Amino acid sequence: MTDDTKDNKDTKDTSQSRRKFLGGATTGLVATGLATSTLAATGLNQQDLHREINWDSEVDILVVGGGAAGCSAAITANALGNQVMIIEKAPVLGGTAAKSVGGIWVPNNKFMREAGLEDKREDCLKYMIRLSFPTSYNPEIKYFGAEEGAYRQMERYYDNVNRVIEDLEQQDALQLMALKAGEHFMPDYFAHLPENKAPAGRALVPSQADGSMGNGAEMMRRFGEALREKRIPVKTRHRAKQLIQDEDGRAVGLVAEKRDGTRYKIKANRGVIFTTGGFTHNKQMRLDFLKGPVFGGCAAPTCEGDFVHIGTRAGAQLGNMSNAWWAQLPLEQALENSSVPTGIWCSPGDSMIQVNRNGERFFDEKFVYNERTQAHFAWDPVSASYPDLLSFMIYDQRTADQYAGFAPIPPTGSSATHVMSADTLEALAAVIKKKLLDIAAETAGFSLQEDFTTQLNKTIERFNQFASAGTDKDFSRGKQPIDQFFHFFGPGQPVNSYPNATMHPIASTGPYYAVIMAAGTLDTKGGPKINEHAQVLDTEGQPIPGLYGAGNCIASFSGPAYWAGGATLGPALTFGSIAASHATQNTQTVGLG
């Protein structure tokens, strides 16, 4: 549902219910940060300080952002009897969720219970904290070593995620199934750690009408249908520009900007909920905040950090700004467009390795994308450089054929500009060197070491020995449960007679292929801090009344961790709903109509 030019007929006309702005008003209003420079951003001017605001629309709850968190917030708010509106910067609903696999991490879900799997609250919290607070985790102390605010959000998440999912299913806005490979539940990303007492079964995905597995696009399709059926207005091509607060600091409305530059002022009687995504596609913010060099990400192009700017002007405290949901990307795709089609969840293939500029492997290629990506951030203090800024996925014809279509390998019969090939490893190295020269301006002249080819041959010889024996003595490839799941979950399963199904000797003759890989994100996960009610906190740690956040636009309580598949969308859906519930139950009279 979209409406770019006028209000839904069910939205209140507020032209006769206005209040004085500051001078003489019962409750004054301020455009957050009343310096002349910020007034210009809102479409208000100095004269507006002493006269009425002419609201263009009035609702109970305004949701900013039309992705998964925003839809969850809007549908919950509607079910609680609120008049709701969604504004969305993009031309269509969906956000980054529509590009995703659609996984949702749901501890202690009904599919686990039906299978007789126990997922106790305390055990789950310990697992989360072990990863989110790796330097302070202690199962014997208060909050298990977590910061109190994050602990409160984690327990709130565990206590509410199943309720939120069930509510959305009852609203016919969502339908989920367990994510499996064959009969095996998907394991958590760190199922191998002793702290994980329920190592598999928490990941759910959307199901389609025929019972087959869906994805993020299917989830957002159902959300869109639910919004239409419930007559919840969605205004696309409306970008949030400025929060409006009363003299007590309560969020009471928002100024949005349409594509044609005109301003649209929306009054929100009960709350404004931001769900606008992270700042992946704001290059300056990536440079300012992220802990390593990042070339782009999977996030929707509209994820430009809007709430960081709006929230800080409203007095919000920022958190977790250096972390992201990390993912490796094909470098050339990211250089062409920072919003890439997909991240590389698992390096596909068995006769495949990833090497650095020295021609050496430097991680388990089958392990979690979030962890592989951070290996690119290693800093060499002597050369004052990132020696692993780029990596090179090397594979043979077997993998090219049998894993065709599993990104970044192109489908059978097609080609891709990000894939290089040659008949020998020596010739392949020459092709890579030429490519690096072509893009040197984008990588600070990153190049291969002189002995790259010699070392690559040694690396392949060593890898082939490991593949033949079935044990990767360097990085334990295939040993972790998630390695095996990612590998087996691919498109079709080639026959591999070797002991470790994730490893097959690389052919002694060409052709050989290479893809340059670089660090990216699914999206960032830093921004204004919230509490367990999804209220945005100010610099003193106190809630900003009427202002809420959920999803990737806020400081994630996961910290640096990626617990499992769906750890992004699970909290987003849950805290979007929590925000709507709290705004409904904690409304204060603001004297605005």
Q: How confident is the model at residue 13 (pLDDT cuts 50, 70, 90)?
A: very low
CB atoms within 10 A of CB 69: 34
Which pLDDT belongs to residue 495? Answer: 84
Which pLDDT belongs to residue 216? Answer: 96
- Does residue 369 have a pLDDT over 70? yes
Tokens of 550: 């959920």
Alpha helices, DSSP H, located in 303-451: 306-313, 331-336, 369-374, 397-402, 425-438
Which pLDDT belongs to residue 373? Answer: 98
Give me the mean pLDDT over the 100-129 stretch: 98
Query: CA 73, CA 84: separation in Å to the nearest integer?
Result: 9
Listed residue (379, 370, 358, 376) closest to 447, CA to CA: 358
Query: CA 87, CA 229: separation in Å to the nearest integer?
Result: 17
Amino acid in the structure at residue 4: D
Question: Beta strands of 364-488 (E only): which ranges?
Answer: 390-396, 419-422
Cβ–Cβ < 8 Å for 350, 501 = yes
Return the bridge partners of 422, or none: 512
Q: Is 273 left (phi over 0), alpha (psi -120 to 50) or beta?
A: beta
Cβ–Cβ < 8 Å for 480, 367 = yes
Whole-number percent of the chain with pLDDT over 90: 87
Which pLDDT belongs to residue 9? Answer: 38
Give me the mean pLDDT over the 79-88 stretch: 98
Which pLDDT belongs to residue 49? Answer: 34
Query: CA 356, CA 188: separation in Å to the nearest integer?
Result: 28
Which pLDDT belongs to residue 414? Answer: 87
**Between 159 and 591, whose confidence is greater?**
159
Q: What is the pTM of this model?
A: 0.91
Query: CA 69, CA 575: separation in Å to the nearest integer?
Result: 7
Query: CA 174, CA 503: separation in Å to the nearest integer?
Result: 38
Give me the mean pLDDT over the 80-90 stretch: 98
43: three-class secondary structure by DSSP:
coil
22: three-class secondary structure by DSSP:
coil
Give me the mean pLDDT over the 3-15 stretch: 37
CB atoms within 10 A of CB 341: 12
Comparing 63-67, 160-164, 291-295, 483-487, the range with the smallest average pLDDT is 483-487
Roughly what angle, to the nearest 10 degrees, separates helices 121-132 and 148-170? 120
Query: CA 299, CA 280: separation in Å to the nearest integer?
Result: 7
Enter the DSSP assignment of 179: -
Cβ–Cβ < 8 Å for 561, 182 = no
55 Cβ neighbours under 8 A, 6+ residues apart: 14, 15, 18, 253, 265, 266, 267
Give me the mean pLDDT over the 230-243 stretch: 98
Residue found by looking up tokens 């250096």 in the block: 322
Cβ–Cβ < 8 Å for 509, 428 = no
Give me the mean pLDDT over the 493-514 stretch: 94
Q: How confident is the model at residue 492 (pLDDT cuts 50, 70, 90)?
A: low
Give me the mean pLDDT over the 559-580 stretch: 98
Tokens of 353: 């390795």
- Does residue 406 have a pLDDT over 90? yes
Comparing 13-27, 63-77, 172-186, the range with the smallest average pLDDT is 13-27
Tokens of 157: 């998440």
**Between 53 and 195, whose confidence is greater?**
195
- Does residue 592 have a pLDDT over 70? no
Give me the mean pLDDT over the 390-410 stretch: 96
Listed residue (565, 573, 571) closest to 525, CA to CA: 571
Which pLDDT belongs to residue 490? Answer: 57
Q: Going by DSSP bridges, is the β-strand pair 57-64/263-274 parallel, antiparallel, or unpaired?
A: parallel
Distance from chain centroid for Cα 310: 20
Query: CA 73, CA 85: separation in Å to the nearest integer?
Result: 10
Give me the mean pLDDT over the 126-155 stretch: 98
**Phi, psi (deg, nearest 5) at residue 171:** -80, 5
Quote the mean pLDDT of the chain. Answer: 91
- Does residue 290 have a pLDDT over 80? yes
259 Cβ neighbours under 8 A, 6+ residues apart: 4, 237
Which pLDDT belongs to residue 413? Answer: 86
Query: CA 568, CA 325: separation in Å to the nearest integer?
Result: 8
Tokens of 68: 């998964």
Whole-number percent of the chain with pLDDT over 70: 89
CB atoms within 10 A of CB 145: 19
